[in-house]
Structure 1
């Protein structure tokens, strides 16, 4: 089970709920139709205003009985300065404390091209999860940046 979803009304439903997210989209589509627009037109106007955004996840199954150091320990002991050609501009280590967040085994990297990489162990399985976010002037450029970043992260591991 992957815990991805949309939390629409946390005061009513305390879990990510695809059904209520679908209802929100239907409501938006209905409102847009009454204005002579479509969801696609609406998405294009958002992209024109703010650019494109893409997100992906890399999951690495770990050997629960391995004596090797966890990847997050290796990233802490030899911190990367780049992921491929992308320079890391800021690193947040949640074990050291970040703002008011709880101390957790999470590393968050901000890259100079405005991409973001988050590395954390799964809370329930022997897996490492790596979340990737990229931006671009268009969705296509953000997708190209994501493909390149995925390649560079996999090469590092």
Structure 2
């Protein structure tokens, strides 16, 4: 089972499906990821990896670094790089581009008010695509324990999760866009289109939150 937090890239789900493995989403934090039954690999967007749960069933940067170095070395011998490998994944599964949008506030009420505005008037579209799903995470998304925040997904497959930080006076937004790639020659155009759409969604979300 490959596991990721709900704010992390859905590319992991596509990779799991390609290899006929199961995939799971959890709440943020490795205390949740590590509980995934049958875990083989887990990660979250804040650069946390669990690559050998049989040895360390937690965030494990040391083992992840060793695995990364071994992968980089084998690719170098073949005249390739890890960036080439990422491009391979983009061609097979679409370009998954992510970006954070974070608002630091002086008063906790500003976060509450922003979430209230979002819930009261959610956007009908983001990045030029109709919003097909607006979920209150307090309702238990995917059967997970309730947690403050909202999840939006567009018909194009772009995704936004908005949630208050559990440790700092911040409202955190996690953006992901998916751009289809017809072939390696289209990668540059896909990356440019994804970057432009992320910028557009940031602007639209900022206006919607009133921050």
Pairwise TM-score range, normalised by the shorter structure:
0.7 to 0.9
Superposition pairs for residues 85-96 of structure 1, below 5 Å?
A: 85-96=128-139
Instruction: Indicate which of 139, 149, 152 corresponds to 1:106.
Output: 149
Instruction: Indicate which of 58, 79, 86 corresponds to 1:14.
Output: 58
TM-score, normalised to structure 1, is: 0.82
Q: Distance in 2 between matches of 1:56 and 1:43?
A: 17
1:80 counterpart SS class: coil
Q: Give the alignment's Cα RMSD to 1 decimal.
A: 2.4
Taking a change above 3 Å as real, the CA distance of residues 36 and 97 of structure 1, as seen in their structure-2 partners, is same
User: Which one has more relative contact order, counting CA pairs under 8 Å at least 6 apart?
Assistant: 1
Instruction: Indicate which of 89, 94, 105 corresponds to 1:46.
Output: 89
2:123 counterpart SS class: coil
Instruction: Indicate which of 122, 125, 140 corresponds to 1:82.
Output: 125
Runs of 5+ unmatched residues, structure 1: none
Give the match for residue 198 of structure 2: 146
Task: Give the count of matched residue pairs.
Answer: 154
Displacement after TM superposition at 1:16 (Å): 5.5
Is 1:124 matched with 2:167? yes
TM-score, normalised to structure 2, is: 0.63
Q: Distance in 1 between matches of 2:191 and 2:140?
A: 34
1:105 counterpart SS class: coil
Kept in 1: contact 2:104–2:169 (CA 8 A): yes
Taking a change above 3 Å as real, the CA distance of residues 34 and 96 of structure 1, as seen in their structure-2 partners, is same
Q: Distance in 1 between matches of 2:110 and 2:80?
A: 57
Q: Distance in 1 between matches of 2:192 and 2:142?
A: 34
Q: Distance in 1 between matches of 2:166 and 2:108?
A: 16
Superposition pairs for residues 23-42 of structure 1, below 5 Å?
A: 23-42=66-85
Kept in 1: contact 2:131–2:152 (CA 8 A): yes
Higher helix share: 2
* TM superposition outliers: structure 1 runs of 4+ over 4 Å: 65-69
Displacement after TM superposition at 1:69 (Å): 4.6
